[in-house]
Structure 1
């Protein structure tokens, strides 16, 4: 058993280096919260910039960010608890749980399973969207003839279920709907019961249910980019993109009081809607390192964690035909609801300059948030990084040795070398 986590004194030079990255006039960042784990202990936490620029509210250890697609990994942790309990099976036809057949109409004989959804190989696509209001049933979106089916752009034509990797947010809308259907609980409340409350984690997927302190501790995400025309102006003001709770209190989705759990699991965004702090993500990291134990309480079994993070898909090409879309080299290996970072030179998904950090976890990017959760379970080391907004277009500032942005590279390498590397 690893020693109880302790927080070491923050090295002043690491503080200065990260603060300089945030304040870099060539690529300024609105805010940053980071955490480092070495040998099963939290050894560094740092917060920089403003959580609320309008009121000059600084980022603290309690600041929660909307963590974008890192939410997928958190959703998966709760789903795997349902797998442990026997409520769902990874290789069962998901139509069994949804109560209606779910088939790609171009490959109608191939069932779609939770394993395929979790590995982005279900043949679902995001082309028709991946989030709808309380007035829409997911069945009407996914099933031919449904009121919201349209041209069927959510279904791939090039490859059927289990045959091709394409990163897909919609898959987590289906997963959230399955979770609701088998439990009868609304997704945001279910996540509280299965994961957040047992671990004492603040925040959640529904800011409208937050306490006043939690609302006050939720960061606004920013860009120096308009929200309507999406024009960048690095010399202009920071523009709130989401969670601007200084101007308007969080509100529940319209019509939620009439929602029937298991009808539309996208309402609280299983794919990207979790608000949580870097500090609490550190608790999750320590739980995973500890084989599923948090403060003496079992959250998941060790074999469940091993199954989740082992390789279930790897990029390959046969006769010039790839088995997936790597998104400019970012994706090369996948677990169940989790990315694997095999640290391959030139592959695009290397986390730190020079390598030597092989990890699993997830990345996140939305509304100005760019985040990393990466943990080396074998060596009990890890990094959490949450950037709360970009002042320049990150697409125009690609990394030097990876598919990440230049700012991400600087933060991850600085944090790794200053707090994690032996």
Structure 2
């Protein structure tokens, strides 16, 4: 089916802004063709973008729909999932509590959460509040993320804290960087304990309300009452389809402090303005705490593309922010990724420039090229390429990577695994942190499922002598091999088929042991 062309939504905010700007500034914006080219090349269901220059909003633009085919246009007040851009807000809540003397960055985590345990008792004893924010725990990339995603699931914050003790570290504590979500969930609980209120209430009182971010939502809230909410989309053939659509009430997500906040373009623009210019909300955060958020606390690897595109020389993590240099200018940024939702926010603090991008579809490449083109307008306009040019470079990188790594195995010859052939392995299994799983017959097939994660359900398929799980609702890029190892009792392991699988599918951290027969 042909996808209808995108409709451009002109924001009232943009009109008011253009009227207030000098005639030279109110002319055609250089960001309009960037936005239009991104939409054209990446076929997004919807996108919203804003640019702040010297503290003033100089561009806002929206394209597309909240729900593909609905006719409901995205505008400045449409709510998007900002995903991991939530982390900076969690850090800001903690910084506010530090300013009020309710906690200190070097306090031990167990001071606020006595039940907190890591696998190594020494790490448990020495883990500080600051460590929760800088990805230095020693756990592997995305360790334990299957307790958070895919959503929805039944894991609680109590489950997250209890599960940490069972996750094996891959490096020593504080020796290196590995991106982590679970520690931010813990950070939210530390804030709640120190502040004496649920995290979502603290977020509203310490960030949303004082900064005037009136549409942002966290915790449990009424989607029907709030309204104007973008839905996540997946690419299917030549079109976009809604996935994981909201019900009338949004639940209190376990992942809230790590990636569960929703905000509008207007909210995120206000967030950027206050971060760039503290005089907009005097006293909201002290200068020492503002510096703490943007201090390089943990070195990060500097990627080859970052060197080439940004002329970058360093990369590090602050409290909820990534720090680097871009063409000799200081850059503070973060991205956010959830199934069907992408965000990106970048600041050039020394010149009070900020760019935010919100997308309600599969938009990883789109946010990358659009942000690059927008920032280069300020840092090195003579070197700036078009959105199409950056897109071609990404595609070339991907082709090169695939030619030098193991190719994705061909699994098209799969067939349903036989019930009789798998009988000796069927049963109930348990992983120490993900909980109970089932490998059981159902309607002449063998099914694998995780009790607390209803999306992790699928049919066991056979490919030659190997088994894999064909998930009911997740895409083929999330499929794992399934291997049962003989023993008393038998054990079961999963491993990714796709070498480029999203790191949140941390199958390698699972180790199921058989605990009983199928019901």
TM-score norm. by structure 1 comes to 0.73
Q: Contact between 1:43 and 1:419, CA under 8 Å: does it hold in 2?
A: no
Matched, 1:367 2:307: no
Q: Contact between 1:94 and 1:102, CA under 8 Å: does it hold in 2?
A: no
Please give the alpha-carbon distance, in whole angstroms, between the structure 1 residues aligned to 2:255 and 2:213.
17
State the match for 2:193 in structure 1. 181
SS at match of 2:249: coil
> Structure 1 residue 55: deviation in Å?
1.5
State the match for 1:217 in structure 2. 228
Q: Contact between 2:234 and 2:362, CA under 8 Å: does it hold in 1?
A: yes
Q: Contact between 1:63 and 1:217, CA under 8 Å: does it hold in 2?
A: yes
> Structure 1 residue 29: deviation in Å?
1.3
1:111-126 correspondence to structure 2 within 5 Å: 111-125=126-140, 126=142
Please give the alpha-carbon distance, in whole angstroms, between the structure 2 residues aligned to 1:368 and 1:10.
34
1:141-220 correspondence to structure 2 within 5 Å: 141-143=160-162, 152-153=166-167, 155-160=168-173, 162-206=174-218, 208-210=220-222, 212=224, 214=226, 216-220=227-231
Q: Contact between 1:188 and 1:204, CA under 8 Å: does it hold in 2?
A: no
Deviation string for 1:110-169 (max 9, x for gaps)? 5111111111112345433343999766555545xxxx56x812x414212x22211000
1:342-361 correspondence to structure 2 within 5 Å: 342-343=325-326, 355=327, 358-361=330-333
* Shift in CA distance, 327/30, structure 1 to aligned 2, threshold 3 Å: farther
State the match for 2:260 in structure 1. 273
SS at match of 1:69: helix
Return the structure number with greater helix share.
2
In the alignment, structure 1 segments of 5+ residues that lack a partner are 225-232, 254-265, 316-324, 344-354, 395-404
1:316-395 correspondence to structure 2 within 5 Å: 332-343=315-326, 355=327, 358-390=330-362
State the match for 1:411 in structure 2. 370
* Shift in CA distance, 142/63, structure 1 to aligned 2, threshold 3 Å: closer
Matched, 1:238 2:237: no
State the match for 1:92 in structure 2. 107
* Shift in CA distance, 358/210, structure 1 to aligned 2, threshold 3 Å: farther
SS at match of 1:51: coil
State the match for 2:6 in structure 1. none
Return the structure number with greater strand share.
2
SS at match of 2:166: coil
> Structure 1 residue 361: deviation in Å?
2.7
Select between 173-182 and 98-107 the one with higher mean Cα deviation: 98-107
Please give the alpha-carbon distance, in whole angstroms, between the structure 2 residues aligned to 1:164 and 1:209.
38
SS at match of 1:390: coil
Counterpart selection for 1:127 from 143, 155, 159: 143
Counterpart selection for 1:304 from 285, 289, 295: 289
Q: Contact between 2:52 and 2:354, CA under 8 Å: does it hold in 1?
A: yes
> Structure 1 residue 251: deviation in Å?
3.7
1:288-299 correspondence to structure 2 within 5 Å: 288-291=275-278, 293-294=279-280, 296-299=281-284
* Shift in CA distance, 204/187, structure 1 to aligned 2, threshold 3 Å: farther
Please give the alpha-carbon distance, in whole angstroms, between the structure 2 residues aligned to 1:46 and 1:413.
17
> Structure 1 residue 69: deviation in Å?
0.3
SS at match of 1:408: helix
Q: Contact between 2:116 and 2:161, CA under 8 Å: does it hold in 1?
A: no
State the match for 1:57 in structure 2. 72
Return the index of the structure with the highest Cα Rg: 2
> Structure 1 residue 327: deviation in Å?
8.1
How large is the Cα RMSD of the aligned pairs?
3.1
SS at match of 2:344: strand
In the alignment, structure 2 segments of 5+ residues that lack a partner are 1-15, 307-313, 382-519
Please give the alpha-carbon distance, in whole angstroms, between the structure 2 residues aligned to 1:108 and 1:410.
40
> Structure 1 residue 380: deviation in Å?
1.0
> Structure 1 residue 341: deviation in Å?
2.6
Q: Contact between 2:296 and 2:316, CA under 8 Å: does it hold in 1?
A: yes
Q: Contact between 2:118 and 2:166, CA under 8 Å: does it hold in 1?
A: no
State the match for 2:249 in structure 1. 250
Please give the alpha-carbon distance, in whole angstroms, between the structure 2 residues aligned to 1:409 and 1:157.
29
> Structure 1 residue 356: deviation in Å?
5.4
State the match for 1:282 in structure 2. 269
* Shift in CA distance, 420/280, structure 1 to aligned 2, threshold 3 Å: farther
Please give the alpha-carbon distance, in whole angstroms, between the structure 1 residues aligned to 2:172 and 2:304.
20
